[in-house]
Structure 1
Amino acid sequence: MFKNVIVRRPGKSLIEGITSAPELGKPDYELALKQHDDYIKALESCGVEVTVLESLEEYPDSCFVEDTAVLTPRCAIISNPGADTRRGESALMVDTIKKFYTDEQIEYIKSPGTMEGGDVMMVGDHFYIGLSARTNEEGCRQFKEALEKHGHTCSVVPLEKVLHLKTGVNYIENNNMLVSGEFIEKEDFKSFSKLIVPESEAYGANCIWVNDTVIVPLGYPVVEKSIREAGYNVIVTDTSEYRKLDGGLSCLSLRF
């Protein structure tokens, strides 16, 4: 069960964030703010305490706090983002994270290693890390070493097409996993009960489990239906403006 969540308000510079889908257009800042408000309300309704950080105008993508750290029950691992424009974000998260973890519990990914939290999926005490364009082999090695130091285990999943691991696969507890695209047949996930996400709703694979409720992005009825049929409480919230920057539900928070 999660007790705490950290989010960061989007700045006006959000419209200049990194995107692989410029055809979707630039985000509407006012609408993005409203969607962020709704996202926070959805989290709070799941019984967590939400820490809301001020926006960082100098970092257009800084609302995507998931990439700055991985927070586990035993340790916090500060990332070193693979995107050059995001390199300074992780350091600005440390003071906040120190409110929840001791110095002895905090580890750091250091260059030449790169790692972004969107490439990390927690399944109990085990963590999967995606080897991606943003998370390199040295980052994976350091991450695995840090986890093992604190009693966790880790395995590396090479990515073929998607930006981050959790772009296409997300664990929603109870041995259930949302999988899409390249992850449907991956050997790494053969032991899980898979909820298959159709290609037409691929973005909808990025859902988050928060204390027996699954938060689902608006506009993905097949995904929503399969999660409801699996027995979960569901909250639907709109992330359309964040999709324009390759961001989804998990990207917008650190949950621990």
Structure 2
Amino acid sequence: MFKNAIVRKPCPNMVEGITEANLGKPDYHKALLQHARYTGALRKLGLKIQVLEPDNRFPDSVFIEDVAVCTPYCAVITCPGAPSRRDEVSTIRDSIYSFYENVEQITEPGKLDGGDVMMAGTHFYIGLSGRTNKAGANQLIKILQQYNLSGSTVSLGEVLHLKTGISYLEKNNLLVSGEFIEKEEFRDFNKIIVPPEEAYAANCVWINGSVIIPAGYPVTQKNIEEAGYQTITVEMTEFEKLDGGLSCLSLRF
């Protein structure tokens, strides 16, 4: 069960964020509204929210998941793979230390984005991507082992981050799309398949028995509900333009 979340409001400079989506620049004011509704959904599901103010120095800082990995026993401040995001970690330290006694750090030459880390029980899957390298993954695995947790790597071929294409919904249920449907690493999970035309919906957020999903993906929503979950939909169009998904917008623990 999650009790807390940390979010950061979008900054006006988000329109200059990193993207390969080719969907146009986001509308900042619309993004603010969508972010407020996302935060409202987290609150509705029982989380206490720490809301950080926008930081215009870092266009992508609304995607707060990438700068830390939160576990039940420790938090790990990352070393983001994109050079423009490297200094974002300094903006999260105070918040992390206000919640955690045990705080670890990924250091160079390791690179690690939180969007490449998926927690499934006591095991953490770590995507090797353009943003996360083997050195960063190995550092995280070593840290996890200190807290009786485990980790393993997953190679990526088609997506930006691991959680772009896969979400753990607890109870051994895994929402999967594209390259992850047949991956050997996930053979023992109950798979909820996301159709290719709804691939963006593969990034969802399980919160205390319910699932927040992006609005506009009826097949995926139906599949999740038929698996026994209540769903909440949130518009994500402006964050999709920056290659961002639902999980990217918060740290949940």
Q: TM-score, normalised by structure 1?
A: 0.98
What letter matches 2:212 in structure 1?
I
1:56-106 CA-partner distances (Å, limit 9, x unpaired) = 10100000000000000001000000001000111210110001111xx11
Cα offset for 1:124?
A: 0.7
Cα offset for 1:161?
A: 1.2
SS in 2 for 1:236: strand
Separation in 2, partners of 1:201, 1:173: 21
Match of 2:141 among 144, 147, 168: 144
Match of 1:186 in 2: 183
SS in 2 for 1:219: coil
Match of 1:2 in 2: 2
Cα offset for 1:151?
A: 1.1
1:254 has 2:251 as partner: yes
1:235 has 2:232 as partner: yes
1:16 has 2:12 as partner: no
Match of 1:35 in 2: 34
Separation in 2, partners of 1:7, 1:126: 24
Separation in 1, partners of 2:222, 2:119: 24
Separation in 1, partners of 2:88, 2:138: 21
Runs of 4+ in structure 1 deviating by more than 2 angstroms, as ranges, are: none
Cα offset for 1:150?
A: 1.2
Separation in 2, partners of 1:140, 1:10: 28
SS in 1 for 2:39: helix
Separation in 1, partners of 2:238, 2:40: 17
Separation in 2, partners of 1:98, 1:129: 24
Separation in 1, partners of 2:176, 2:38: 23
Separation in 2, partners of 1:95, 1:37: 23
What letter matches 1:251 in structure 2?
C
Separation in 2, partners of 1:137, 1:175: 26
What letter matches 2:12 in structure 1?
K
Equivalent positions of 1:47-62 (< 5 A) are 47-62=46-61
Match of 1:199 in 2: 196
1:199-243 CA-partner distances (Å, limit 9, x unpaired) = 100000000000101000001111100011111011001011000
1:46 has 2:31 as partner: no
What letter matches 1:91 in structure 2?
S
Cα offset for 1:46?
A: 0.3
Q: Give the share of equivalent positions with the same residue, in percent.
A: 57
Match of 1:223 among 183, 197, 220: 220
Match of 2:85 in 1: 86
SS in 2 for 1:60: coil
SS in 2 for 1:191: coil
Separation in 1, partners of 2:248, 2:213: 13
State the Cα RMSD in Å.
Answer: 0.5
What letter matches 1:114 in structure 2?
K
Separation in 1, partners of 2:201, 2:35: 17
What letter matches 2:19 in structure 1?
T
What letter matches 1:5 in structure 2?
A
Separation in 2, partners of 1:84, 1:240: 25
Q: Structure 1: any 5+ residue segments left out of the alignment?
A: none
Separation in 2, partners of 1:245, 1:100: 29
Match of 1:117 in 2: 114
Separation in 2, partners of 1:148, 1:244: 37
1:9-58 CA-partner distances (Å, limit 9, x unpaired) = 00000100000022x11000010000001001100000010110000101
Separation in 1, partners of 2:195, 2:248: 21
Separation in 2, partners of 1:182, 1:247: 19
Match of 1:107 in 2: 104
Match of 1:175 in 2: 172
